Chains A and B, each alone.
Chain A
């Protein structure tokens, strides 16, 4: 049975020591090219977390009961599920949160982290509850990473202080690397 400590452990792992975008390189692209404000990042991050929760809630039984015989259809089915969930959420969100939801939610939400998480969860034979908790932790981890990056971009970085060749993506990568290094330390 899952204890409170285990639940917090899984959540914390998703947030920090097992951060998908920074340490597993899943969804890194979506985080790196994030040009949104911190507030928008929070909304998008929460949306992605919701997508993760729902897709995993659907993919787990699909994989357990239907895909045993046809493992090669796994990616296809998972992507379809993600697509449907994202579209439906998008339609609902447009009605409920007018002004806060952006059209690029659909594009953003379809990132490697969600699919990677579905595959990770079924490959590691996690139980249904574990799957859901992991999804929550990983989604929140993704949100926090996005916020950190959005905040970093908000702060006016002294471009002149960076060598010309390192401006832009390289320095962003190095920054991410530093954060990754700090998170890696939690694994020991």
Chain B
């Protein structure tokens, strides 16, 4: 192919390309808008499902300030009917985050909600078929929305994602904030004030108690108690300690001792006691243990029982922590008077379901031994890591932290 041929070929090609390009440019005026509308239609189909009366949507995510990471996108209904939020949430049981689409009307109420992606091992829709629909007509306060028993983590995450969607709209003053009742505000304080109360579920109430929650890991109870006009949150842990908080989150235990007493009475009636369990464990670990005395701890974590005892004259403290890994974990710690872990034991570390048979096994003796001698200074969390068992590792970390916290609380109280 010589240069002349090459040039001629290129010339012909250019002509043809130009003709087609002009034709396509012209055609684009016809097809371009339709293609765009088609693409939009596909994009907006899930939005229309939660807001059927909407005319058109416009994505406004990037124009809003302080949109939380869990919010994927926010769409504005162009005729002012409201907003549609797409949000995601995940739990330790999620293979992929769940994805939620919900519509919020201009007056701040949920007009439609659906779960688009959901891969958690437990399906809360099968536990409570009406749970998702219970969000309809609710404002940002999400009053009376609890969690699904048996799928607490998943439903809590679901609720959290919806709340964050609302929060994004409220911080940008697009909708008005729903008014929360005192009981609701107090109820939402539980996870921060009593982080050891896992998988809380509402239980029946009596007397001045407005609302009551029981921890799924038996780490205690939470009550909303009325005293005259005001409501208070009373927390009782498994060892019998009680604290009372007002709506502002301030500790008012001393001022509201009547409430504390009522809460303690209510809790002691239904609290499962782990003192016997712990005693048995201590006598198994130390055959010569004497003077085993249950101790009340003022921490509201996963420690459900604590006891002091003596071995050959030396002081020891035993702690029983119930954290949640893949399943309920039962972990025991013995801490000596100097604050070092003397022994650690657990009913079971590895649950077959977590690993689907892929788990190669672990040296349980070495793992337990790795805890011995740890103090709050040398404990970094790394010692609890079990390769390939994230959930169990995290639960072990929490239990260890909590045991140290409980020990320090006892020590601090004694000084």
Q: Do chains A and B touch in the complex (CB under 8 A)?
A: yes
Give A contacts to B, CB under 8 Å. Answer: 70, 72-73, 76, 80, 91
B16 CB → nearest A CB, Å: 10
Given contacts A70-B28, A73-B24, A91-B1, 11 further A-B contacts (CB under 8 A): A70-B25, A72-B24, A72-B27, A72-B28, A73-B21, A76-B17, A76-B20, A76-B21, A76-B24, A80-B13, A80-B17
- Give the docked Cα–Cα distance between A73 and B18 (Å): 11
A135 CB → nearest B CB, Å: 25
Which residues on the B side are within 8 Å of A72 (C-beta)?
A: 24, 27-28, 31
B207 CB → nearest A CB, Å: 60
B12 CB → nearest A CB, Å: 13
Within 8 A of A (CB), among B1-26: 1, 13, 17, 20-21, 24-25
- Give the docked Cα–Cα distance between A76 and B21 (Å): 9
Q: Which residue of A lies closest to B32 (CB)?
A: A72
What are 15 residue pairs bridging A and B, where the CB atoms are less than 8 Å apart in the complex? A70-B25, A70-B28, A72-B24, A72-B27, A72-B28, A72-B31, A73-B21, A73-B24, A76-B17, A76-B20, A76-B21, A76-B24, A80-B13, A80-B17, A91-B1
- Give the docked Cα–Cα distance between A73 and B25 (Å): 9
Q: Which of B1, B27, B31 has the most CB of A within 10 A?
A: B1
Nearest 6 A/B pairs, CB to CB: A72-B24, A72-B28, A73-B21, A76-B20, A76-B17, A73-B24
B30 CB → nearest A CB, Å: 11
- Give the docked Cα–Cα distance between A72 and B25 (Å): 8
B105 CB → nearest A CB, Å: 35
Q: Which residue of A lies closest to B28 (CB)?
A: A72
- Give the docked Cα–Cα distance between A72 and B20 (Å): 11
- Give the docked Cα–Cα distance between A76 and B16 (Å): 11
A90 CB → nearest B CB, Å: 9
Which residues on the B side are within 8 Å of A80 (C-beta)?
A: 13, 17
Which residues on the B side are within 8 Å of A91 (C-beta)?
A: 1
Q: Which residue of A lies closest to B14 (CB)?
A: A80
- Give the docked Cα–Cα distance between A80 and B14 (Å): 10
A174 CB → nearest B CB, Å: 38
- Give the docked Cα–Cα distance between A63 and B39 (Å): 20
- Give the docked Cα–Cα distance between A33 and B20 (Å): 31
B8 CB → nearest A CB, Å: 14
- Give the docked Cα–Cα distance between A80 and B27 (Å): 21
- Give the docked Cα–Cα distance between A80 and B12 (Å): 13
* Contact string against A for B residues 317-338, beta-carbon threshold 8 Å, 1 for contact and 0 otherwise: 0000000000000000000000
- Give the docked Cα–Cα distance between A76 and B17 (Å): 8
Q: Which residue of A lies closest to B31 (CB)?
A: A72
Which residues on the A side are within 8 Å of B24 (C-beta)?
A: 72-73, 76
B38 CB → nearest A CB, Å: 13
Which residues on the A side are within 8 Å of B28 (C-beta)?
A: 70, 72
Which residues on the A side are within 8 Å of B13 (C-beta)?
A: 80
Which residues on the A side are within 8 Å of B1 (C-beta)?
A: 91
Which residues on the B side are within 8 Å of A70 (C-beta)?
A: 25, 28
- Give the docked Cα–Cα distance between A72 and B13 (Å): 18
- Give the docked Cα–Cα distance between A76 and B25 (Å): 13
B28 CB → nearest A CB, Å: 6
- Give the docked Cα–Cα distance between A64 and B234 (Å): 60
Which residues on the A side are within 8 Å of B21 (C-beta)?
A: 73, 76
- Give the docked Cα–Cα distance between A104 and B31 (Å): 38
* Contact string against A for B residues 123-149, beta-carbon threshold 8 Å, 1 for contact and 0 otherwise: 000000000000000000000000000
- Give the docked Cα–Cα distance between A80 and B21 (Å): 13
Q: Which residue of A lies closest to B24 (CB)?
A: A72
- Give the docked Cα–Cα distance between A72 and B1 (Å): 32
- Give the docked Cα–Cα distance between A72 and B34 (Å): 13
A157 CB → nearest B CB, Å: 40
A87 CB → nearest B CB, Å: 8
Which residues on the A side are within 8 Å of B27 (C-beta)?
A: 72
Which residues on the B side are within 8 Å of A76 (C-beta)?
A: 17, 20-21, 24
A66 CB → nearest B CB, Å: 13
Q: Which residue of B lies closest to A83 (CB)?
A: B13
Q: Which residue of B lies closest to A80 (CB)?
A: B17
- Give the docked Cα–Cα distance between A116 and B384 (Å): 50
- Give the docked Cα–Cα distance between A84 and B159 (Å): 57
B21 CB → nearest A CB, Å: 7
A37 CB → nearest B CB, Å: 27
- Give the docked Cα–Cα distance between A73 and B24 (Å): 8
- Give the docked Cα–Cα distance between A16 and B25 (Å): 40
- Give the docked Cα–Cα distance between A55 and B17 (Å): 19
- Give the docked Cα–Cα distance between A80 and B24 (Å): 16
- Give the docked Cα–Cα distance between A177 and B27 (Å): 40
- Give the docked Cα–Cα distance between A155 and B179 (Å): 81
- Give the docked Cα–Cα distance between A80 and B132 (Å): 53
